[in-house]
């Protein structure tokens, strides 16, 4: 309303033709659901009070503008779903994101060696050697190429013979300290009591948000995300708590969104990626300056060593970034081999 | 940007505190994805030109404001999904909306008599008699109550003994002239070529809109809605065309949205509800004045005759309105019978 009124002042007249200014007022009236006097008196778009099917729905009264402005919701949550990496259509693998990993795993058979910390990488112009510990013994593999998806901030501390520029680039990548909690609902109270079907509830408490499952509607139980924060300080604070303390804190905070929450959820589990051995974080980050200066260096192999993973994309934390960076490495190797390298 | 600038003029200062005016500017900057000078220079929210995963995405250039204002999109399409009867979460019966009807039908067994136009309704204080034609013969049913879901604009022309007020009320309801076309895609070109997964494409042509299925992603074929208009004049114009003319016109118009459309779709079917015998329209409507004056009369039975259906709700055209009006009638009858009527 204020904005539509503002279009009537001379401030805009110098920037718009009279026709466009009138169209702008009409657009604001349609967009803002304003009355003929350009006043906002509530909108059916916000739902109705009471029955709206057999009786004419009564719109909810407008929320005070000052109160809206003082909420933090517009700082990013309001626009969150419009972010380019959040746009629908978003597909979900049936069974969860790790079905993608499990799918690769099942086709790779016995190729994967687990619990094998790498201790040394010797890159060369014909071969690359990787040394690792496994079951108490030292092993070494010599290969034509190494495609390495370990986080740069761990790779930098593995003994290596990379170029100075490559090592400088590895050193600027720092770990995201993301944190998540999941609970099982003893029943799907968010659907049964609150008619919530998927989506997010935001809060300014440390849990930051609750996510509701977009599948399994009306089944007996379901898993909801009881916290997901990507704030590094909050992530580290959660990580310092013991697992049972984390669940207790998340339940106390969730109580404000869902009264009786503690009785409604069970079997909580938490993960503070900063505490996961040999991962020590997730969703690696560059500052914009470091990204501009060092990312191209890491996008180029150090002789026969390729760094891949979501860290080598502009969508850190997303599987698509990991897959695309692997495709790029494979394509690069293909061209090298095809040209006799 | 213009709006954020407008907040800097004195027009708003008299309506907002200085703190709130500053918050409003910050909110507009976040909402509008403006730069530090409150200028809009394009937004990643609109997607990027070219790769955005392995390279920094390049935002699309802003569309000229005057061009945006001159589009009709903001008149209602932009706000359409915010309408209270369009809000997510919207459930879909597997197999289509008529699965609801089929579900009732399968449980009702042989109770339903089809092809039985009603010729007379004699309402009374103890019984109600309904006369109808079936297989060339006249039949009459005498019952305790009649729950009638025929459209009011047809009921009014059935011989009856309703009260004057009830007949006056029936007479104000007029039929919606909605029109739809469906095509089968020879392949799911909207997904394969355009990466469209469900949703609507709007056009100012007579077809008004295309709908894409929100299910069956990546299957071999799929059904899309090739037109859906609720404009009465357009609906009647479509109805005057022969079925094959309607499909040809819809294909010519769809061509502007999907080049090669005519070769991409097959097996078109159209329905102009205004031409359906014994229905002669759908989604019955009241003017606001008629609704205020006559709807309460129709919500009350005429002795033992209850009018139901989506027409007896504030969501004409939606099954929920029909179901809720039936529930209300059944509840009313329950109380009458329980109190000895």
B292 with B155, same domain: the answer is yes
Question: How much is the pLDDT for B4?
Answer: 64
What percent of chain A has pLDDT above 90? Answer: 85
**Which of B33, B69, B197 is opposite residue A89, by nearest beta carbon?**
B197
Question: What's the pLDDT score for residue B87?
Answer: 80
- Whether the CB of B9 is below 8 Å from some CB of chain A: the reply is yes
Integer-rounded Cα radius of gyration of chain A: 26
Please give the pLDDT value at position A7.
60
Which tens digits make up the pLDDT trace of A312-324? 999 999 999 999 9
Residues of B in contact with A30 (CB under 8 A): 74-76, 78-79
- Pick A123 or B9 by higher pLDDT: A123
* B324/A54 touch (CB, cutoff 8 Å), yes or no: yes
By the CB < 8 Å criterion, does B24 face chain A? yes
pLDDT score, position A234: 96
Average pLDDT (B268-287) is: 96
B251 and B294, same domain (yes or no): no
**Integer Cα distance of A166 and A296 in angstroms:** 10
Residues B160 and B202 in one domain: no
My answer on whether B169 and B303 are in the same domain is yes
Q: Provide the pLDDT confidence category of residue B117 given band limits of 50, 70 and 90.
A: very high
pLDDT > 90? residue A160: yes
- Tens digits of per-residue pLDDT, A220-253? 999 999 999 999 999 999 999 999 999 999 999 9
* Model pLDDT for residues B167-204, shown as the tens digit of each residue: 999 999 999 999 999 999 999 999 999 999 999 999 99
Is residue A50 included in any domain, yes or no?
Answer: no
Query: Does the residue B244 lie in any domain?
Result: yes
| Token representation of residue A262 | 């503690």
- Which tens digit of pLDDT belongs to each residue from A254-269? 999 999 999 999 999 9
**Helices B164-171 & B288-299, crossing angle to 10 degrees?**
140
- pLDDT above 90 as % of chain B: 85
How near does any CA of chain B get to the CA of A43, in Å? 9
The parent domain of residue B135 ranges over: 116-173+286-338
A131-157 average pLDDT score: 98
Pick the residue with more confidence: A341 or B200?
Answer: B200
CA distances for A188 relative to A214, A267, B60, angstroms: 12, 14, 42
Those of residues 161-200 in A touching chain B at CB distance below 8 A are: 195, 197-198
Say whether both B330 and B194 belong to one domain: no
The highest-confidence range among A35-39, A169-173, B11-15, by mean pLDDT, is A169-173
Number of domains forming the structure of chain B: 3
Q: Please report which helix (H) or strand (E) contains residue A245, including its range.
A: helix A243-254
Shared-domain flag, residues B162 and B298:
yes
Residue B341: predicted pLDDT: 85
Q: What pLDDT is stored for residue B159 in this prediction?
A: 98
* Claim to verify: residue A160 and residue A199 sit in the same structural domain: no
Q: Is the pLDDT of residue B1 over 80?
A: no
SS (H, E, C) B79-144: HHCCCCCCCCCCCCCCCCCHHHHHHHHHHHHHHCCCCCCEEEEEECCCCEEEEEEECCEEEEEEEC
| Domain assignment of residue B99, yes or no | no
Evaluate whether residue A14 is within a structural domain: yes
> What integer is the mean pLDDT of B65-89?
88
Q: Sort out which chain B residues have CB atoms less than 8 A from A89's CB and list them.
A: 195, 197-198
Q: What are phi and psi of A145, to 5 degrees?
A: -145, 155
A4-43 residue pLDDT tens: 666 666 556 567 899 999 999 999 999 999 999 999 999 9
Same domain membership, residue A167 and residue A122 = yes
pLDDT at position B11 is 58
Average pLDDT over every residue of B143-147 = 98
- Per the prediction, chain B carries an average pLDDT of 94
Domain contains B52? no
Q: What chain A residue is nearest to B22 in terms of C-alpha separation?
A: A69
């Amino acid at each position: 309303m204020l904005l539509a009124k503002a279009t009537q002042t001379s401030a805009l007249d110098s920037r718009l033709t009279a026709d466009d200014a009138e169209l702008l007022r009409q657009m604001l009236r349609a967009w803002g659901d304003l009355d003929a006097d350009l006043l906002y008196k509530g909108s059916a778009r916000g739902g109705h009070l009471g029955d709206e099917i057999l009786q004419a729905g009564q719109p909810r009264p407008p929320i005070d503008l000052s109160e809206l402005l003082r909420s933090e919701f517009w700082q990013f949550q309001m626009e969150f779903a419009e972010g380019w990496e959040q746009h629908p259509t978003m597909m979900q693998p049936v069974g969860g994101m790790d079905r993608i990993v499990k799918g690769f795993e099942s086709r790779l058979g016995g190729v994967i060696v687990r619990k094998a910390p790498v201790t040394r990488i010797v890159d060369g112009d014909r071969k690359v050697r990787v040394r690792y510990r496994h079951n108490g013994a030292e092993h070494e593999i010599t290969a034509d190429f190494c495609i390495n998806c370990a986080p740069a901030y761990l790779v930098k501390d593995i003994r290596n013979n990379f170029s100075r520029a490559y090592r400088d680039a590895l050193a600027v990548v720092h770990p995201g300290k993301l944190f998540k909690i999941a609970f099982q609902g003893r029943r799907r109270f968010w659907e049964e009591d609150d008619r919530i079907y998927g989506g997010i509830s935001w809060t300014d408490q440390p849990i930051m948000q609750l996510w509701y499952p977009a599948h399994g509607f009306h089944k007996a139980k379901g898993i909801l995300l009881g916290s997901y924060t990507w704030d590094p300080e909050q992530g580290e604070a959660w990580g310092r708590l013991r697992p049972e303390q984390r669940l207790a804190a998340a339940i106390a905070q969730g109580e404000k969104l869902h009264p009786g929450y503690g009785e409604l959820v069970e079997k909580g589990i938490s993960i503070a990626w900063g505490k996961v051995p040999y991962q020590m974080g997730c969703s690696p980050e560059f500052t914009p300056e470091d990204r501009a200066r060092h990312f191209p260096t890491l996008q180029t192999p150090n002789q026969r060593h390729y760094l891949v993973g979501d860290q080598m994309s502009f969508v850190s934390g997303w599987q698509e970034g990991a897959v695309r960076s692997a495709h790029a490495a494979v394509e690069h190797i293909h061209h090298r081999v095809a040209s006799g390298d």
